[in-house]
Amino acid sequence: MNALLLATHPECYSTARLKEELLRVGHHVEVAQLDSSLIGGKGALIENLVEGSIDMVFPRFGAKRRIFVDQLTKDLEDRQIRSINSYESLKNTQYKYQLYQTLNEHHLLTPRTWIARGLEGFEQAFKEAGNVPMVIKGMKHHEGNSIFYSPTPKAAEKILSLPEFRGGEFLVQEFISESCDESLRAFVVGGRVVAAMRKHNETSEDRSNLFSGGHADSIRLKSNEGTLALRAVKALGLQVASVDLIRCARKCYILDVNAAPDLYEIEKITHVNVAEKVIELAENICHLRDEYRQINFLDESFYIHN
């Protein structure tokens, strides 16, 4: 298989691990670094990329280069070059409010969410939610970045003075207090939950990022949690994604879905070779494995890793 890694940061752990696994099993891999110098010359970049035979593209991106990577993925797909996550599925996760709307359309439970601008917008959402603690999120937050706990408008005023929130729209989401400051992450590859972990977060009025700090451990998801993660990924059309969940007494909420999830934490905590699972999926899609078959997203045997 000839693989192409589209990466904003080729040196990062996730990109390096995918490259390592591709080379380990004998595939050819090229890494295209996407930086500001390439954005103006996208057409020339595509021509250079397709000079050779590419079987599979692996988009790796952060929020700042997201639109460019998505569009480049589409242009490559137009040339019949497959991506591990399709352009349409990437588009579904580009804007977080649209992501929540898509999940709700498929009757998947997420915390109540509002789009707001400035402190006045937060106060309106705070009032509509019933004066309960809220979470402030950037419109394109990625892997827990730009996510802040705000129990009161006074706390929100300090958060909204940060550069990422000045003058622009942001999301205000109901804080689910029943979660006991715990969140779950399910890593889905090809319709299977291949690894899962639980993160114990710290929430207080004076802390910065909601999902920084804390500690994590490897877990086995309950059947309903595995089903919810798989349904979320299927609704968005993704093949590889992480799904963040929170448990409550009678419900399970979807907090987020990431189309280019970080591998470092999930591999470190669970000791599962997630990169290998992603490469095996790519081989299946390219019909390079004898055991290739279509995976049923709701097959109960795929709920849990191991």
For 175-199, how does the pLDDT look when each residue is reduced to its tens digit (9 = 90+)? 887 766 788 999 999 999 999 999 8
Name the CATH topology of 101-106+178-302: D-amino Acid Aminotransferase; Chain A, domain 1 (3.30.470)
Q: Is 237 left (phi over 0), alpha (psi -120 to 50) or beta?
A: left
pLDDT tens readout for residues 72-117? 788 888 888 889 999 999 889 888 889 999 999 999 999 999 999 8
Mean confidence (pLDDT) of the chain: 82
Tokens of residue 104, six digits: 């709700």
CATH code given to domain 112-175: 3.30.1490.20
More confident residue, 219 or 178: 219
| CA-based R_g, the chain, Å | 20
Q: What pLDDT sits at residue 80?
A: 85
Give the separation between CA 295 and CA 287, rounded to whole angstroms.
Answer: 14
Q: Among all chains, which residue has been given the structure tokens 């939950």?
A: 193
**Helix ranges restricted to H, the chain:** 13-24, 36-39, 42-49, 66-78, 87-94, 96-105, 118-128, 153-159, 223-236, 264-270, 274-285
Summarize the confidence of residues 193-207 as an average pLDDT.
Answer: 73
Percent of the chain with pLDDT over 70: 78
CATH code given to domain 2-83: 3.40.50.20
| Alpha-carbon dihedral sign for residues 125, 180, 214, 243 | negative
Which DSSP letter does residue 295 get?
Answer: P
Question: Of 44-48, 242-246, 294-298, which gets the smallest average pLDDT?
Answer: 294-298
Q: What pLDDT sits at residue 250?
A: 77
Q: What is the three-class DSSP state of 139?
A: coil
Domain residue ranges in the chain: 2-83, 101-106+178-302, 112-175
Give the separation between CA 225 and CA 107, rounded to whole angstroms.
Answer: 15
pLDDT at 296 over 70: no
Taking alpha carbons only, the member of 136, 147, 234, 133 closest to residue 190 is: 234
Taking alpha carbons only, the member of 251, 147, 235 closest to residue 188 is: 235
Q: How far is CA 83 from the centre of its chain?
A: 16
Verdict on whether the full-model pTM lies above 0.75:
yes
pLDDT at 133 over 50: yes
More confident residue, 25 or 249: 25
SS3 readout for 226-271:
HHHHHHHHHHHCCCEEEEEEEECCCCEEEEEEECCCCCHHHHHHHC
pLDDT at 32 over 50: yes
Q: What is the three-class DSSP state of 278?
A: helix
pLDDT at 258 over 90: yes
